Amino acid sequence: MKFSMRRTIAMQRKEFRQFLADGHTMALMLVMPIFILILFAVAIDMRPKHNGTALLLRDSSPTVRTLVSAMENSTYFRFKALISNEEEGERLINSGKVHFILTVPENFTRDLVRRERPILLLDADCSDPGAIGAALEALEAIRANFLAGSDFDGPLAHLRPGLGPFELRIHRRFNPESISRYNVIPGVIGMLLTMIGVMLMSLSVTREMERGTMENILAMPLMPLEIMIGKISPPIVLGLVLSAALLTLSTAVFSVPMLGSPLLLLFAMALFMCCNLAIGFAISSLAANQTQAIQLSIMVLMPSFLLSGFIFPFDGMPPWARAIGCCIPLTHFLRIARGIMLKGCDMGDVYQNILCLSAIAIVVAAIASLLHRRTLD
């Protein structure tokens, strides 16, 4: 048989029609690359700005207010709370609401005028070292040039030497040596649980459809919610066993600290797995086969990894990207895991993220129940 261009063109036309008819593949190949390009170009910043900062003022002179204004004008600091004691600052930094606590000591301005180089204390949350490095560099530049402006003429003109007029003492909290695995391993655990939960559940249901066993399940007097609970129960048990193994490996082999309650973290893991399994169940209701289930899972997993704060600093994203990230279960699990393991947080510190995970699980489970097909047609 000789080569025929006519037959080749006919084959090409058939493949193009089949390819264009597959909406899931088209979405994966067109929408996802464009979405990722937009994220990297617009939403992701490796030098996050507007880091939440708490301010403990024991000297409120105009000089101190000028220093605070200089920090805000650098765009790397955003003062979110004016606190009155160290305990209030501890609650804010433990819960992750702020990354820094700036403490201005008493008689700061008086010691400044006397050239006694007063100490300015900055507590920095180093549980995610990459998120605060740029802010610390900016503060060093502010310190070196603090009294170089025209506001310090006259009696304060002698305070303009190149050496900074005050000492900046940085207290690196939770990971003072900036050991990367302390920050990465909780994220890796969350990433693995996300992949297992979403993909395992989506493939489990679509596999039953392809094998024909879903007909028997649909013929039973079962509600969609009952089917979903029955389907997610074994993966949750498997996920908890895997979680306990990962935590044991992390602490025993990689020396990642476990300062908080392991039981609280396991509870958060179980809730996190429920969210991911509900997402997988919803995907299985939309997918006609396992190939489509994998494609839809990828479209869910990519934003989870990019917008949750696992790979890139969460505060380095614009407001619209952070709003999307707050709807992603991995975002809240990372805050819980890093808080419990590195900061020793208790339920009072992480309850807001626990509530967010619970809300996501309920909403996704309701959507999955509505999407669940009661027939194979």
pLDDT digits (tens, 9 = 90+) for 342-353: 888 889 889 999
Containing structural domain, residue 208 = 180-371
Dihedral of the CA atoms 152, 153, 157, 160 (nearest 10)?
Answer: 50
Residues 177-236: tens digit of each pLDDT: 878 888 888 888 898 889 888 888 888 777 777 766 666 666 666 676 677 777 777 878
Tell me the residue type at 224: P
Where a domain ends, among 173, 195, 214?
173
Report the pLDDT value the prediction gives residue 55, as an integer from 0 to 100: 92
116 shares its domain with 207:
no
β-partners of residue 57 are 104
| Proportion of the chain in helix, strand, coil states, percent, rounded to 5 | 65, 10, 25
My answer on whether 328 and 238 are in the same domain is yes
- Which of residues 173, 199, 217 is at a domain's end? 173
Kindly state the percentage of the chain with pLDDT values over 70.
85
167 and 190, same domain (yes or no): no
pLDDT, position 222: 67
pLDDT, one tens digit per residue, over 259-270 is 989 999 989 998
| In-domain check, residue 366 | yes
Residue 108 is part of a domain; what is its CATH number? Answer: 3.40.1710.10
Q: Are residues 110 and 188 in the same domain?
A: no
Dist. CA 33–CA 302, nearest whole Å: 10
pLDDT band at 300 (very low <50, low <70, confident <90, very high): confident
- Judgement on whether residues 135 and 197 belong to the same structural domain of the protein: no
- Say what the pLDDT of residue 238 is: 81
* Cross-strand pairs, 173: 125
Query: Total structural domains in the chain?
Result: 2
Contact 116, 167 (CB under 8 A): no
The reply to whether 141 and 193 lie within a common domain is no
- Between the alpha carbon of residue 25 and those of residues 32, 170, 295, the distances in Å are 10, 51, 7
Q: Is residue 188 part of a domain?
A: yes
Of 139, 155, 173, the domain-final residue: 173
Q: What is the pLDDT of residue 150?
A: 47
Q: Would strands 51-57 and 77-83 be described as parallel, antiparallel, or unpaired?
A: parallel
Average pLDDT over the chain, rounded to whole?
81
Q: Is the pLDDT higher at 89 or at 9?
A: 89
298 shares a domain with 197:
yes
